């Protein structure tokens, strides 16, 4: 029996199978979930209390002709082995084939056709989540559904690399932009030719998996308390329409004829605007808008704040003076699973060097990263712990930096990597993390030694060898050697790494690049020279180093090289930008995490002092330079 997750005929069966045994009245403990195959098909399915991962997979096996031992059901970090009690109503689950049998060239046909969609009992647009924050989105949904009933169809958005659609109201006005998760760049149903990866594999950014940008867009909105940075209302939805794209893998990944198809998508309010920040003089941007967006970008470690992701709306000015409002969009590449190089377009804008106001300081002071994580876990239960760790770390960093007296530009600089001698170097933030990890590692070696007692070390020389092997030299920490210290801490492997390992195994078995954004296997950790070698390979091809040159206002560093060739289909493996991973947060054991944060905080003061003296030095040099001119 050959696994075929995507045959339309079998999928029709799936919908029927899902609904038939449960079509009676609602019972307590019943939940509806959406199972998405790694090629993008979405199947609505009802669970009752007695269901477990095996029963769900058995139903899928019957319907999709997939042997259950060859597939696994995941939900964020969790691989669902049996118990499904933690799975809430409306959760999107991912069904993946076993790694050895996965192939991104497998045909991708979704459950299409009016008959199938009618049997799937979900409405045309359903908001996934129950937060009060989604009230506005629900109003927009009603307007759109009314528009669709009146024959107003959505329209495709031409810009951007992913599939995106403007949904309209009865008057024909765009009211929302919808981005299906399986149409992201490199996802199986991308309509713009950027295909080649399965859902759950590392994507455009290696630390953001394909299919996982949607919940990040929602996270950015939910974290934007009091609408401080002006992120438009955003929610995850299950949405059904014939405009969506479905590629047919058999047919060279060409789009299929349009039929009704259900998708999981991000849904964001459409905001009328006049420009984006790459087309408009940045000097007119209000200081407070730049500060507020910058504060958000730092908290969420935004790796994609280019000018195109800041919409600009002109406001009616008094006395001919035109004011503008900024609207931050496209937060799909925030909250990566590990630290990498962020991208902050505002970093060299003069507004970012102006000190924070009292209001801004108060807002930052009131931020509570633990509360934020709890809130996100509850609103977006599929969010990965590694992303939450990045949020916690960056929020602490922001709060401490601001308390020290740093301005937005200085904080952004400390988070950004530099290139020296053609090599990418860890940012100041990453160096602090590496130092904090080193302190924990040293502490663990010491406590190990105390426990073992000196008698275990028969000769001094043994001890030296052990130290040599286990403790990375501080010199290495301060240079670009991308050491991971995940092998400290005894046998306790962090559960967060499990899914990463499976991805790594798969990538290794396919002979892909040596390093990926989710970190490398222990062998490489022990032999940093191997890594150095692999890093030097990255100077060739389309590495991020090359894109770095594009960091000037208006450039779109992540995408410009791709956007230039918009025809034909591309292999994702050839074209994905690579980026060194200097710090993995996911590999810190649960019990070490608070200790790590403690050490991290302790080390911040001297890092801030160093940064402050650098800025003062630069200013002095600038002043000297200026006085020489006159
Ligand atoms: N909330 C919004 N209101 C109005 N227009 C929007 C909104 N969000 C996005 N757009 C428009 O749609 C275009 C594509 O959206 P977006 O940048 O989010 O998609 P993307 O595929 O992630 O793009 P990119 O590849 O540039 O990152 C934007 O350039 C912008 O013009």
Token reading at 281:
């003089």
330 Cα–ligand 1 center, Å: 6
What CATH number has the domain spanning 8-269?
3.10.20.90
Q: Coil, strand or helix: which one is 194? A: strand
Q: pLDDT tens-digit profile of 380-400?
A: 999 999 999 999 999 999 999
- Residue 303's Cβ-count burial label (10 Å; 0-12, 13-18, 19+) is buried
Most confident stretch, 13-22, 275-284, 329-338, 555-564: 329-338
Q: Which residue has the higher pLDDT, 466 or 539?
A: 466
Residue with CA nearest ligand 1 atom 19: 160
Instruction: Compute CA distances 445 → 131, 153, 432, 492, whole Å.
Output: 46, 64, 20, 15
354 Cα–ligand 1 center, Å: 29
Q: Which residue has the higher pLDDT, 106 or 143?
A: 143
- Are the CB atoms for 166 and 157 separated by under 8 Å? yes
Assess whether the C-beta atom of 333 lies below 6 angstroms from ligand 1. no
Please give the pLDDT value at position 252: 53
Place of tokens 């799937």: 120
Residue with CA nearest ligand 1 atom 7: 270
611 Cα–ligand 1 center, Å: 35
203 Cα–ligand 1 center, Å: 18
* Residue in 233, 226, 250 with CA at minimum distance from that of residue 175: 233
Please give the pLDDT value at position 68: 63
Assess whether the C-beta atom of 599 lies below 6 angstroms from ligand 1. no
Q: Residue 478: what are its φ and ψ, rounded to 5°?
A: -95, -5
> Which of 157, 276, 328 is the best mutation target for the ligand 1 pocket, counting ligand atoms within 8 Å of the beta carbon and taking the most?
157
* Residue in 359, 144, 95 with CA at minimum distance from that of residue 269: 144
Residue with CA nearest ligand 1 atom 14: 160
How many whole angstroms separate alpha carbon 530 and alpha carbon 514? 9
Q: pLDDT tens-digit profile of 283-328?
A: 999 999 999 999 999 999 999 999 999 999 998 765 555 789 999 9
Token reading at 525:
């950790």
Assess whether the C-beta atom of 268 lies below 6 angstroms from ligand 1. yes
Domain definitions of the chain by residue range: 8-269, 428-575
Nearest-atom index, ligand 1, CA of 162:
21
DSSP per-residue codes, 231-295: PPPEEEEEEEETTS--EEGGGTTEEPPP--EEEEEEEEE----SEETTSS-GGGS-HHHHHHHHH
Assess whether the C-beta atom of 438 lies below 6 angstroms from ligand 1. no
Assess whether the C-beta atom of 161 lies below 6 angstroms from ligand 1. yes
Assess whether the C-beta atom of 183 lies below 6 angstroms from ligand 1. no
Q: Coil, strand or helix: which one is 65? A: coil
- Residues with Cβ within 8 Å of 622's Cβ and at least 6 positions away in sequence, in order, are none
How many whole angstroms separate alpha carbon 523 and alpha carbon 510? 18
> Which of 137, 159, 208, 343 is the best mutation target for the ligand 1 pocket, counting ligand atoms within 8 Å of the beta carbon and taking the most?
159
123 Cα–ligand 1 center, Å: 26
Strands of 323-328's sheet, edge to edge?
Answer: 275-276, 310-315, 323-328
Q: What is the ipTM of this complex?
A: 0.97
Q: pLDDT tens-digit profile of 142-170?
A: 999 999 999 999 999 998 899 999 999 99
Residue with CA nearest ligand 1 atom 18: 330
Q: pLDDT tens-digit profile of 228-273?
A: 999 999 999 999 999 999 997 645 555 556 788 889 999 999 999 9
Q: Coil, strand or helix: which one is 425? A: strand
348: confidence class by pLDDT, cuts 50, 70, 90 = very high
Q: pLDDT tens-digit profile of 445-493?
A: 877 767 666 555 444 434 444 333 333 333 333 333 333 323 222 333 3
pTM, rounded to two decimals: 0.74
Assess whether the C-beta atom of 264 lies below 6 angstroms from ligand 1. no
Nearest-atom index, ligand 1, CA of 271:
3
């Amino acid at each position: 029996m050959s696994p075929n997750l995507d045959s339309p005929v079998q999928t029709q069966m799936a919908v029927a199978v899902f609904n038939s045994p449960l079509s009676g009245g609602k019972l307590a403990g019943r939940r509806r979930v959406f199972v998405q195959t790694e090629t993008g098909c979405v199947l609505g399915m009802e669970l009752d209390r007695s269901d477990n991962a095996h029963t769900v997979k058995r139903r899928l096996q019957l319907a999709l002709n997939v042997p259950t031992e060859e597939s696994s059901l995941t939900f964020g970090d969790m691989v669902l082995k049996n118990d499904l009690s933690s799975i809430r109503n409306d959760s999107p689950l991912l069904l993946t084939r076993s790694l050895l049998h996965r192939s991104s060239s497998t045909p991708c046909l979704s459950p299409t056709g009016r008959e199938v969609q009618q049997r799937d009992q979900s409405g045309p647009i359903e908001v996934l989540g129950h937060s009060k924050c989604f009230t506005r989105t629900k109003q927009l949904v009603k307007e759109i559904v009314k528009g669709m009933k009146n024959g107003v169809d959505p329209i495709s958005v031409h810009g951007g690399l992913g599939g995106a659609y403007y949904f309209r109201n009865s008057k024909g006005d765009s009211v929302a932009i919808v981005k299906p998760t399986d149409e992201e760049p490199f996802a199986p149903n991308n309509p713009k030719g950027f295909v080649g990866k399965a859902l759950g594999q590392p994507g455009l950014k290696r630390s953001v998996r394909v299919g996982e940008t949607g919940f990040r867009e929602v996270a950015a909105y939910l974290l934007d308390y009091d609408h401080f940075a002006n992120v438009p209302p955003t929610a995850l939805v299950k949405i059904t329409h014939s405009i969506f794209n479905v590629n047919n893998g058999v047919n060279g990944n060409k789009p299929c004829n349009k039929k009704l198809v259900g998708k999981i998508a991000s849904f964001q309010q459409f905001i009328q605007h006049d420009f984006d920040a790459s087309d408009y003089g940045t000097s007119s941007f209000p200081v407070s808008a730049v500060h507020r967006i910058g504060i958000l970008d730092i908290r969420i470690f935004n790796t994609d704040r280019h000018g195109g992701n800041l919409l600009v709306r002109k406001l009616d000015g008094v006395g001919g003076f035109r004011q503008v409002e900024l609207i931050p969009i496209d937060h799909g590449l925030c909250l990566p699973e590990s630290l990498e190089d962020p991208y902050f377009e505002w970093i060299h804008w003069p507004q970012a060097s102006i000190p924070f106001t009292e209001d801004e300081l108060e807002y930052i002071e009131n931020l509570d990263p633990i509360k934020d994580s709890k809130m996100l876990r509850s609103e977006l239960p599929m969010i990965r712990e590694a992303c939450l760790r990045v949020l916690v770390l960056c929020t602490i960093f922001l709060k401490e930096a601001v308390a020290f007296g740093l301005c937005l530009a200085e904080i952004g600089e400390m988070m950004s990597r530099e290139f020296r001698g053609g090599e990418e170097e860890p940012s100041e933030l990453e160096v602090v993390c590496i130092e904090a990890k080193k302190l924990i590692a040293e502490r663990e070696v010491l406590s190990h030694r105390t426990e073992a007692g000196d008698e275990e070390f028969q000769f001094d020389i043994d001890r030296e060898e052990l130290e040599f092997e286990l403790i990375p030299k501080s010199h290495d920490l301060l240079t670009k050697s991308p050491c991971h210290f995940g092998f400290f801490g005894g046998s306790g492997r962090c559960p967060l790494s499990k899914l990463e390992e499976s991805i790594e195994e798969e990538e290794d078995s396919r002979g892909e690049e040596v390093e990926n954004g989710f970190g490398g296997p222990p062998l490489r950790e022990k032999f940093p020279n191997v890594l150095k070698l692999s890093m030097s390979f990255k100077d060739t091809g389309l590495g991020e180093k090359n894109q770095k040159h594009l960091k000037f206002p208006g450039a779109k560093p992540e995408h410009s090289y791709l956007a230039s060739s918009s025809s034909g289909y591309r292999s994702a493996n050839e074209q994905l930008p690579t980026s060194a991973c200097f710090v993995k947060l996911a590999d810190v054991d649960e019990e070490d995490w608070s200790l790590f944060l403690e050490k991290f905080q302790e080390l911040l003061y001297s890092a801030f002092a160093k940064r402050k003296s650098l800025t003062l030095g630069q200013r002095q040099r600038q002043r000297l330079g200026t006085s020489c001119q006159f």
